[in-house]
Amino acid sequence: MEIRALGRQGLKVGAEGLGLMGMSAHYGATDETESLATIDRALELGVTLLDTAEGYGPFRNEQLLGKALAGRREAAVVATKTGVEFSDEGALLGHNASPEYIRRSADRSLRHLGTDHIDLYYLHRVDPNVPIEESVGALAELVEAGKVRHIGLCEVSPTTIARAHAVHPLAAVQTEYSLFERGIEHDGVLDTLRDLGIGLVAYSPLGRGFLSGAITSPDDFAADDFRRTDPRFQGENFHRNLAVVDQVRRLASEKGVHPLPARPGLDPPAGRRSHPGHQAAPLPGGEHRRHRGDDHPRGAGRHRRGGAARRGLGRPLRAGADGLPERLILSGYGSGPVRGRTPHAPDAPDAPDGITA
């Protein structure tokens, strides 16, 4: 797998990462043995960026990754997150991006991961009660102390990105981005990343599984799968969005290409160029096979259902070309608990029952 620069701060990662959230939370029952096998296979295929957070589980996901990397820490670029407070017992306490909590959270994550440094440390959500400059200042202190190599933010507005980057250079911003969720192309986020040379890490590149083709009914979700609470997957929204998926897949078939981009949603529309200092990496999830259709696009897990590479499919379907609109008309997108930035609330809030991204 190609190794590329993620932004301009010296961070290098495999062309695709692996998100671990679904191995411990939010997508139904989990299987540690299968999850460890998925991480093993991803590393074999050249995936280096492995993404976790203290809130996934909570703590169990970081511990899982620490177990997977025992004896081979150098094989991975470890990304984890802080800024939403949990007690040592795992109780969700709400926003806390204070310098004191960030320092304490980092030490706890290092213990759970079984490592002496975090390669990429994100602020998971902006704390409305703490100026972003103070939060980023604390992250910068961790870099100076050698506990963190690079820092980033999740789900933030262009203004917040610029303010944070002025305190300490950001290596990456993580946000949802796919053929289904292209908001950052229109709200200024993508332009800001390109202008500042900040990398983009795009989670849910297959639209929370919709673009995989494996989801055909809300009944496909386990009772405790958080997508049951997501407006995009409820009632008429689900069926309208499924019709859009069918349209995309039919168009791909007519063009003799596949509907799952090799870099889902990350190639610029026809006629546009990426900023030369800007690089992006999709972050598909590592799911339990019985509950998620959100495949790794390269078939990273040996239990995946039909990764694109394994199917030997051709070039990807491109927005702005092949007759595919640059903006798909979808129902319920932008109204969920994770996205939904507005002019009055430019940074994404927490999901009510915890972090699901």
- β-partners of residue 148 are 118
Q: Is residue 105 part of a domain?
A: yes
> Burial level of 140, CB count in 10 A (0-12/13-18/19+)?
middle
Q: What is the pLDDT at residue 179?
A: 77
CA distance 109 to 123: 13
Indicate whether 230 belongs to any domain: no
User: Is residue 214 included in any domain, yes or no?
Assistant: no
Hunting for tokens 């529309």 — which residue is that?
269
What amino acid occupies position 121?
A: Y
Position 93 in a domain: yes
pTM as predicted = 0.81
Tokens representing 106? 């980092």
Strands 84-86 and 92-95: antiparallel
Domain hosting 167: range is: 3-208+326-333
> Does residue 110 lie within any of the structural domains?
yes
Which of 244, 256, 303 has its CA nearest to residue 42? 303
Please report the DSSP string for 102-124 in residue order. HHHHHHHHHHHHT-S-EEEEEES
Identify whether the C-beta of residue 131 lies closer than 8 Å to the C-beta of residue 158: no
Active site residue 56: yes
How far apart are the C-alpha atoms of 33 and 68, rounded to whole Å? 10
Asked if 171 and 152 count as a contact pair (C-beta separation under 8 A), the reply is yes
Residue ranges in 14-98 assigned as alpha helix (H) = 32-44, 60-68
CA 96 to chain centre: 21
Q: Does the residue 184 lie in any domain? A: yes
255 burial type by CB count under 10 A (0-12 exposed, 13-18 middle, 19+ buried): middle
Q: Chain centroid to CA 200: how far?
A: 10
Instruction: Identify the sign of the CA torsion 336, 337, 341, 345.
Output: positive
Per-residue pLDDT of the chain (357 residues; tens, 9 = 90+): 899 999 999 999 999 999 999 898 766 677 899 999 999 999 999 999 999 999 999 999 999 999 999 999 999 999 999 999 999 999 999 999 999 999 999 999 999 999 999 999 999 999 999 999 999 999 999 999 999 999 999 999 999 999 999 999 999 999 998 877 888 988 999 999 999 999 999 998 888 888 777 788 888 888 878 788 888 888 899 988 888 888 887 887 887 766 554 444 445 444 444 544 468 898 888 654 333 334 444 433 333 333 333 333 345 566 555 666 665 666 775 544 344 343 334 566 544 344 556
Q: For the chain, what is the domain count?
A: 1
**Which residues touch 26 (CB under 8 Å, ≥6 apart)?**
56, 224, 225, 226, 356
Collect all residues with Cβ–Cβ distance below 8 Å to 46 and sequence separation of at least 6. Answer: 1, 3, 14
Q: Using alpha carbons, select from 57, 66, 50, 58 the residue that is nearest to residue 112.
A: 66
Give the C-alpha distances (Å, rounded to integers) separating 60 from 24, 53, 325, 337, 343. 6, 9, 40, 23, 35
Catalytic residue among 27, 56, 101, 121: 56
Measured CA to CA, the distance from residue 183 to residue 189 in angstroms comes to 9
The CATH number that applies at residue 70 is: 3.20.20.100
- Which pair of structure tokens corresponds to residue 154? 């999740």
For residue 311, is it within any domain? no
pLDDT of residue 346: 56
The answer to whether position 316 is within a domain reads no
pLDDT of residue 147: 99
**In terms of DSSP H, where are the helices of the chain?**
32-44, 60-68, 99-113, 132-144, 158-167, 189-196, 235-255, 308-311
